[in-house]
Structure 1
Amino acid sequence: MTYRSINGRQIEVLHGGHLLAYSITGKFNKDGQYDVNELGLLDNPKNLSTQTEFSNQKTMQLFEERVRNTLEANKRVIYQVSTVFKNQDLMPIGYHLQALSTDKSLDFNVFFWNVESGVKFDYTTGRSKIDRSMKVSDSTE
């Protein structure tokens, strides 16, 4: 885990972000198979990706909540998350999320960047350095 002090705030810059939220996939076993009798792995390596705090907490979480709310309303959802890499980079540049409920009350197709305000990443290696000129908008509109 990489911690940085940015604008007086200590943050964990990189997370092992869940591609599909654990609150949604908690019944999937280590092989990625749904098992109603098994609790599932919180850190299933088939469901983790290197993710910035911003992309994990400020963007992806908003869309995961929409999927959870739709599932809690007993609706069926087709949901896909894809990591997007450039060339042979070790760290994804972003994430492509798509969801559609069978009644079409949930419908999104979004891309968001794997970025963090105040931090510049070398996506080839996954290393980071403080760069106060790097600004990220909190808006997901």
Structure 2
Amino acid sequence: MARKKTKKQSMSLASLVITFLLVAGGYFWAEGTSTVSHRPVTRVENAASRPSEELAHSVLTDTVRAQLGSDLVYNGAGAFVMNGNRTDLDAAVASVPYADNKTKIAQGKVVPTVANALLSKATRQYQKREETGNGSTSWKPAGWHQVRHLEGEYNHAIDRGHLLAYSLVGGLKGYDASTSNPKNIAVQTAWSNQSNRPDATGQNYFETQVRRALDRNKRVRYRVTLIYQSQEDLVPVGSHLEAKAADGSLEFNVFVPNVQQGLVIDYYSGKIHLNQ
């Protein structure tokens, strides 16, 4: 009986050891698998879809910095915060909503420079372009040189970039918010125009903040100033965006560089080359 008990005890101890090894092995295998499956793949992809800090800074020549001022801080997401994100726009004005565009003549062509607007829920456009007669167009702004079939998040180089977005001002009676208004459309990279994430802050990211304010029935002063390296350039090196709500609930002052990872842009002509 004693021997049988000892044998049973030995078998029980061996079973415990095996069980422990299996559990421990399963735990470490699971941990290893978890580590692999949770690698920051998304972060890598996000980082690749926005310009590098070096590329974002590349447009900040002495001429451009003179236009933007010295208080310019990279936000880590492709754009720059200006003047501590404060603007001198006065939103508490007794005026009906309006929109106004200014232009310049460069190389004999009309090129937009500044757009000013006082926005409200009434100027906000919720309908699709096709429903309001502002659908796709074949018109091309000055400096248009498209490149397609690119790899990555954006398969093309440039868009018809609005100074005043259709969604913000498309409800304003008498204002041409189409993609063929030469006073309101400039050549803009797909990233600079479309990107709308906290880690990749293109113009759409800041426009979304304005849209949300208008949806809450706020009155917002909004200004977009295109920054050019020279008077004769057809394509801006970036967009200076400013917004301020009348009640102070929204305010920003930023510069979004007109760049895109993998592209080299000649801002004078608009010609684009791939950065091999």
Whether these two folds match at TM > 0.5 is yes
1:37-72 Cα offsets, whole Å, 9 max, x none, are x68542232211110001001110010110000001
Scaled by the length of structure 1, the TM-score of the pair is: 0.80
What TM-score does the superposition give when structure 2 sets the normalisation length?
0.42
| Equivalent of 1:95 in 227, 235, 239 | 239
Q: Report the CA distance between 1:5 and its aligned residue.
A: 3.5
Unaligned 5+ segments in structure 2 are 1-144, 196-201
Q: Which structure dedicates a bigger proportion of its chain to strand?
A: 1
Work out which of the two has the higher radius of gyration on C-alpha atoms and give 1 or 2.
2
Percent identical across equivalent pairs? 40
Are the equivalent residues in 1 in contact too, given 2:154–2:190 (CA < 8 A)? no
Structure 2 residue identity aligned to 1:115: V
Question: Amino acid of the residue matched to residue 45 of structure 1?
Answer: P
Quick one: which amino acid aligns to residue 210 of structure 2? V
Q: What residue number does 1:105 align with?
A: 249
CA displacement, residues 78-104 of structure 1 (integer Å, 9 cap, x when unaligned): 000111111121110000000000111
Structure 2 counterpart of 1:55, one-letter code:
S
Please give the alpha-carbon distance, in whole angstroms, between the structure 2 residues aligned to 1:116 and 1:8.
11
Q: Among 211, 223, 227, which residue is 1:84 paired with?
A: 227
> 2:254 is matched by which residue type in structure 1?
V
* Distance (Å, rounded) in 1 between the aligned partners of 2:217 and 2:223: 19
Describe the superposition over 1:78-136 as per-residue Cα deviations: whole angstroms up to 9, x where unpaired: 0001111111211100000000001111100000110010010111110010004xxxx
Given the alignment of the two structures, is residue 68 of structure 1 paired with residue 211 of structure 2, yes or no?
yes
Q: Which residue of 1 aligns with 2:162?
A: 18
Distance 1:8 1:24, change over 3 A: closer
Q: Secondary structure in 1 aligned to 2:155? A: strand
RMSD over equivalenced CA pairs, Å: 1.9
Aligned partners of 2:146 and 2:156 also within 8 Å: yes
Q: Aligned pair count?
A: 124
Aligned to 2:223, what secondary structure does the other structure show? strand
Q: What is the rounded CA distance, in whole Å, between the counterparts of 2:155 and 2:165 in structure 1?
A: 21
Q: 1:84 to 1:23 in 2, by over 3 A?
A: same
**Separation of aligned partners in 2, 1:2 and 1:9:** 16
Give the equivalent residue in structure 1 for 2:183: 46
Aligned residue identity for 1:18: H
Residue type of the partner of 1:53?
A
Q: Secondary structure at the match of 1:4?
A: coil
Gaps of 5+ in 1: 28-33, 133-141
How far apart are the structure 2 equivalents of 1:39 and 1:102?
22
Structure 1 segments of 4+ aligned residues over 4 angstroms from their partners: 38-41
